[in-house]
Homo-oligomer: A and B are copies of this chain.
Amino acid sequence: MKKINTSPISGTQELLPSLQNEFDRLKNGLLATFHAHGFQSIETPVIERSEILLAKAGGDTEKQIYKVVKTAEDTSSADQALRFDHTVPLARYVVQHESDLTFPFKVTQIGRNFRGERPQKGRFREFYQCDVDVIGRGSLPIYYDAEVIATLADAMEVLPLKQVIIRVSNRKILAGLLEDLGLSDKLTEISGVIDHAEKVAPEKTSAALAEIITDEQKVKQVEGLMRIRGSRQDAIADLRSKFNARQGSMLEEGINELDEVLRLLEERGIKNAVADLLIIRGLDYYTGTVFETIAPDYLEFGSICSGGRYENLASNYTEQKFPGVGGSIGLTRLFAAFRESNLVDPGEAKPIDVCLIPVSNNEIVACEALAKKLRKEGQKVDVVGSDRKVGDKMTYAGKIARFAAVIGDDEVKNGKYELKNLGSGEKTERSF
């Protein structure tokens, strides 16, 4: 027989059942929180028209799009490719179904996306993203910026992290400052430097800014902005005192919006959100609120969850304006990081609640009747119908289940059995 490589393609996630169970528990926990906050699930096809994906993509993303080759039987005219995120298909979905949707449209998408990257630590070719978005038609109140962050803050409590800090900023603040400094044309360049500031030495950032801005006074102003972080009260006071925003200016608008988002979060009792003007987010399309999340004990994980406000979701497909705000958790990448840091214990995550072990085939009927009862109570029950010895069946149970019971002649006769806790070894008597 020709030897075939049976490993999954590198850069994809394939888990043993106990780890899959743990991954699913996290994924379902996130989804349940999103639903509890009134977000509705949708699911777009994994295969999209290439022109839809390429209308938005650019640079690295375009190089990473997996194209799909049509088969002899697939006679459609469109070029096809695999989606690389949820945002582009969402934009298409909103334009396509606009007349049937209710706005503001609170939507969640949890599913697999695909990027043809070179696999490396933290980079996957096939990965789960867990997204929430709120899409307005024409306009969308800033209330929803806070709602998205609050929802994600709640959701992150499912993750095995003791503490996370949500760092919030607003892009209008930097854009407004640069406008006031006559540097609007340098916004993208300067944003890039700030976005990378935490990854390089401070001198490097200063040097990079000096090269772009030239005027030393103005460099100091930008550096002053970058250093502002802390509670709402302190940070907003700092911003207002240091930068003297003109009434009606973009700078003032940005400061007010940041103040408002943080205030709404405070009112809702969310204590782990802070202002942090270092946060910019790499993607071009954010226009207002932006946020990232760190786990102080695991800074190496990078951002746990991030997102922001975009002025126009679907500008590539329609003239109509759909402002939105959203955020995303990259669960496949995070799960790999959790495993590496021993934050996931597959030994604990037994997928089965109870294994019922018939001593012989004579007890199968009794086991099935008991299984039916336990299943109705919500338990995951396996009747071990294999033709092995009882000891072997017990070994099998020990690997997949939390409890087991051996059911023989006597148990059936007396209507009682011993339920064994396979972790502690403790036994309790139960009735059929």
Chain A interface (Cβ < 8 Å from any Cβ of B): 1, 4-10, 12-17, 20-21, 24, 35-38, 40-49, 51-52, 55, 63-76, 78, 80, 82, 92-93, 95-97, 100-104, 106-107, 112, 114, 116-119, 125-126, 136, 139-141, 143-144, 147, 264, 267-268, 316-319, 351-352, 355, 361, 364-365, 368, 371-372, 375, 378-383, 385-387, 396, 399-400
Contact = CB atoms under 8 A, between A and B. Distances in A.
What is the total number of copies of this protein in its complex?
2
A381 B38 contact: yes
A63 B72 contact: yes
A10 B44 contact: no
Contact of A73 (B38, B49, B117, B361): B117
A318 to B, nearest CB: 8
Given A4-B317, A73-B64, A102-B396, A17 B41 contact: yes
A24 B41 contact: yes
Nearest to A52: B4
Contact of A10 (B21, B76, B104, B267): B76
A65 to B, nearest CB: 7
A68 B12 CA distance: 15
A13 B64 CA distance: 25
Contacts of A41: 17, 20-21, 24, 351
A73 B115 CA distance: 9
A125 to B, nearest CB: 7
A268 B16 CA distance: 31
A395 B139 CA distance: 18
Given A4-B55, A20-B40, 5 more contacts: A9-B48, A14-B42, A15-B43, A17-B101, A20-B42
Given A17-B107, A385-B141, A7 B73 contact: no
A46 B100 contact: no
Given A15-B42, A17-B41, A63-B73, A9 B78 contact: yes
A139 B387 contact: yes
Contacts of A144: 385
